């Protein structure tokens, strides 16, 4: 690379500055003109940052094909961790291993240790773990039930068998509405929560899935490209939500949208062919990447 030329990454930093303006409120409909122009959400640093999950030398395979190789990183509450990397680099696989969803796939293998609050997740009861670490998938996957039932399904199991009859109790209703509101879907669907979730648009379905994941009141939230089906306004709502959530929930987000990673993440993990190439603070990875691969990936996608 020509040493006289500023690396393209720098350009982002330069480009970015003029855009740092007071964030426009989006609630009143004054949407930003382009997502790219959205500045990084101005945020107070989360008061407490504490490590919730630790990934230590984790290897993951489908059959004999090791698609995640020796990855170690922390997942902290009070922070958003973004995972970036080319298609097929193992981001989804790593994400799914955090709540042991990889175990659902026949032939999947793993090595290394993943812990939640110091306890090996493979020693926790799997369903308890998955309630504490919920996931939103790359493709929206609402249940073929009503919007209401989709969210209510995620609420903590109610004791007794009379659950179905009492399921529209005020408590459940407010929990469902609250989750829908946080995911920015409530206003659009409030008029008919009994509609089939399958009749929502793709973006609405994805926000429903986010609402569902939130209704479970997780401690760690895994988001696999949650915004790939969303319009700029919904994306902005979700991004704001993610930034807000990080105080109470440790958030891990996989995204192909580097601007998005920059906007929401405190730390960024860059993966390539199953390896964790670089892990660092958002500013460091985007402005001063240590590894050439990272630099190429970031500049390639940005330039």
Ligand X SMILES: Nc1ncnc2c1ncn2[C@@H]1O[C@H](COP(=O)(O)OP(=O)(O)OP(=O)(O)O)[C@@H](O)[C@H]1O
Residues that bind Mg ion (CB under 5 A): 92
Using CB under 6 A as the binding rule, the residues of this chain from 15 to 74 that contact ligand X are 62, 67
Q: Which position's Cβ is nearest Mg ion?
A: 92
Q: Which of another protein, ligand X, Mg ion, none does residue 187 bind to, with CB < 5 to 8 Å depending on kind? A: another protein
* Token digits of residue 66: 């090791």
User: Which strand (E) or helix (H) includes residue 112?
Assistant: strand 108-116
Does 87 bind ligand X (CB under 6 A)? Our answer is yes
Residue 156: which residues within 8 A CB-CB, separation 6 or more?
131, 216, 217
141 binds another protein (CB under 8 A): yes
Is residue 300 a contact residue for ligand X (CB under 6 A)?
A: no
* 210 belongs to the binding site for another protein (CB under 8 A): no
- Between 57 and 105, name the residue whose CB sits nearer to ligand X: 105
Q: Which one among 18, 47, 144, 160 touches another protein, defined by CB under 8 A?
A: 144
Nearer Cβ to ligand X (207/272)? 272
State which residue has the least CB distance to ligand X: 92
Q: Under the criterion CB under 8 A, does residue 70 sit at the interface with another protein? A: no
Q: What's the min distance (Å) between Cβ of 86 and another protein?
A: 23
Among 77, 89, 206, 282, binds ligand X (CB under 6 A): 89
Which DSSP string do the residues of 5-35 spell out, in sequence order? SPPHHHHHHHHHHHH--PPPP-TTS---S-G
For position 283 contacting another protein by CB under 8 A, the verdict is no
The backbone torsions φ and ψ at residue 13, rounded to the nearest 5 degrees and listed phi first, read: -60, -40
For residues 157 and 134, what is the distance between their CA atoms, to the nearest angstrom? 15
Contact 56, 120 (CB under 8 A): no
Query: Contact at 8 Å (CB) between 263 and 239?
Result: yes
Does 130 bind another protein (CB under 8 A)? Our answer is yes
For position 92 contacting ligand X by CB under 6 A, the verdict is yes
Question: One symbol per residue from 3 to 42: x for binding another protein (CB under 8 A), - otherwise; what is it?
Answer: --------------------------x-------------
Q: What is the DSSP letter of 60?
A: E
Strands 108-116 and 119-120: antiparallel
**Any idea which residue has 């998005």 for tokens?**
260
62 is a contact residue toward another protein (CB under 8 A): no
- DSSP per residue over 61-78, as a string? EETTEEEEEEEEEEEEET
Q: Which residues bind ligand X (CB under 6 A)?
A: 62, 67, 85, 87-93, 105, 138
């Amino acid at each position: 690379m020509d040493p006289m030329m500023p690396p393209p990454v720098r350009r982002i930093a330069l480009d970015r500055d003029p855009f740092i303006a007071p964030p426009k409120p989006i609630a009143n409909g004054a949407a930003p003109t382009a997502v790219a122009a959205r500045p990084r959400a101005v945020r107070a640093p989360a008061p407490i940052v504490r490590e919730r999950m630790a990934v230590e030398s984790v290897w993951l395979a489908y059959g004999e094909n090791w698609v995640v190789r020796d990855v170690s990183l922390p997942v902290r509450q009070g922070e958003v961790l973004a995972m970036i990397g080319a298609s097929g680099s193992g981001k989804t696989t790593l994400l799914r291993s955090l709540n042991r969803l990889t175990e659902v796939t026949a032939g999947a293998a793993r090595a290394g240790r993943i812990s939640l609050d110091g306890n090996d997740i493979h020693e926790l009861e799997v369903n308890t773990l998955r309630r504490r670490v919920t996931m939103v998938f790359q493709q929206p996957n609402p249940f073929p039930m009503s919007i209401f039932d989709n969210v209510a399904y995620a609420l903590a199991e109610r004791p007794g068998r009379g659950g179905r009859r009492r399921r529209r109790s005020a408590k459940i209703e407010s929990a469902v509405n609250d989750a829908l509101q946080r995911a920015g879907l409530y206003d659009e669907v409030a008029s008919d929560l009994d509609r089939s979730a399958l009749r929502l648009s793709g973006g609405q379905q994805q926000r429903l899935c986010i609402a569902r994941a939130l209704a479970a009141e997780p401690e760690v939230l895994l988001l696999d490209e949650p915004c790939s089906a969303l319009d700029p306004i919904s994306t902005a709502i979700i991004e704001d939500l993610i930034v807000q959530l990080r105080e109470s929930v440790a958030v891990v987000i996989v995204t192909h949208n580097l601007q998005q990673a920059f906007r929401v993440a405190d730390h960024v993990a860059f993966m390539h062919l199953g390896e964790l190439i670089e892990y660092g603070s958002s500013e460091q990875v985007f402005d001063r990447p240590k590894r050439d691969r990272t630099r190429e990936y970031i500049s390639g996608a940005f330039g």
